[in-house]
């Protein structure tokens, strides 16, 4: 029955005995080199919560303020992310607009809110309360959050536009940069093993 004595590599299925690691240590598969598990510091999920909350605030700022402004012959034009998705939608490129919306707004939002919810619940010692399905859901949507790729895309378009007009980086551009860093920090600080163990102990 459920016991953490064994761990299987998810990339080659080799079975390993679960041995304790020093703090910050990491166990890798002896056959294919994939990461098996790591030993996170005891306050890992506290730190993950701090990062996730910061990311939530940055997410709001990044979506409310314009990302870039453009000035040509005295005409000023600026775009927020949701505004950009809207103009793509109105332009008839609905599939593309939906794809951009999902990967840059919906998935990051769901991921952040879900992670924060789970971490708060764990902290309060709550008995599951939807934490298990939420963790499942976060894991399955994770590959579709592409804030870092979006950020590079904005920078590329800034350089492209700089040839023909005056571009002004907006508040949201910097917020997106910070958001990317804090999402990464929250994800790497988060200790899923501790979370699953605790959720398992609270039936």
- Overall size of the chain counted in residues: 203
91 binds another protein (CB under 8 A): yes
Q: From the CB of 39, what's the least distance to another protein, in Å? A: 14
Q: From the CB of 135, what's the least distance to another protein, in Å? A: 7
Contacts with another protein, 3-22, as mask; x by CB under 8 A:
-x-xxx-xxxxxx-------
Answer for which of 57, 127, 160, 171 binds another protein (CB under 8 A) is: 160
Restricting to residues 164-193, name those near another protein by CB under 8 A: 164, 192-193
Answer for which of 60, 127, 157, 171 binds another protein (CB under 8 A) is: 157
Q: Is 49 within 8 Å of 177 (Cβ atoms)?
A: no
Token pair, residue 149, equals 């790729």
Q: Is 46 within 8 Å of 189 (Cβ atoms)?
A: no
- CB-nearer residue toward another protein: 101 or 182: 101
Q: Is 87 within 8 Å of 79 (Cβ atoms)?
A: yes
154 binds another protein (CB under 8 A): yes
Neighbouring residues of 146: CB distance < 8 A, sequence distance ≥ 6:
103, 104, 107
Q: Is 26 within 8 Å of 38 (Cβ atoms)?
A: yes
| 64-180-23 Cα angle (round to 5) | 140
Question: How many Å is the Cα radius of gyration of the chain?
Answer: 21
d(CA 197, CA 200): 5
- CB-nearer residue toward another protein: 30 or 57: 30
Q: Is 58 within 8 Å of 173 (Cβ atoms)?
A: no
Contact segment (CB under 8 A) with another protein among 27-35, 56-64, 114-122, 179-187 equals 27-35
Answer for which of 57, 60, 72, 171 binds another protein (CB under 8 A) is: 72
26 binds another protein (CB under 8 A): no
- CB-nearer residue toward another protein: 46 or 86: 86
Restricting to residues 93-132, name those near another protein by CB under 8 A: 93, 95-97, 99-100, 103-104, 132
Answer for which of 41, 42, 83, 130 binds another protein (CB under 8 A) is: 83
Answer for which of 43, 152, 171, 202 binds another protein (CB under 8 A) is: 152
Neighbouring residues of 43: CB distance < 8 A, sequence distance ≥ 6:
none
């Amino acid at each position: 029955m459920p016991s953490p004595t064994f761990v299987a590599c998810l990339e080659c299925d080799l079975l390993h005995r679960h041995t304790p690691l020093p703090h910050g240590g990491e166990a890798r598969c002896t056959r294919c080199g994939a990461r098996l598990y790591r030993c996170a510091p005891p306050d890992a999920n506290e730190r993950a919560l701090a990062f996730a909350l910061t990311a939530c605030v940055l997410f709001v700022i990044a979506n409310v303020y314009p990302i870039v402004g453009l000035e040509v012959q005295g005409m000023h034009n600026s775009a927020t992310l949701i505004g950009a998705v809207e103009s793509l939608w109105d332009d008839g490129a609905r599939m593309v607009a939906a794809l951009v919306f999902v990967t840059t707004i919906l998935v990051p939002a769901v991921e952040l809110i879900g992670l924060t919810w789970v971490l708060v619940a764990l902290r309060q010692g709550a008995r599951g309360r939807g934490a298990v399905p939420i963790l499942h859901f976060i894991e399955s949507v994770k590959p579709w959050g592409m804030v870092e790729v979006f950020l590079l895309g904005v920078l590329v378009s800034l350089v492209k536009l700089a040839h023909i007009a005056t571009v002004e980086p907006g508040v949201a551009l910097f917020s997106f940069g910070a958001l990317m860093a804090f999402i990464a920090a929250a994800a790497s600080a988060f200790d899923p093993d501790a979370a699953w163990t605790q959720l398992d102990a609270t039936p």
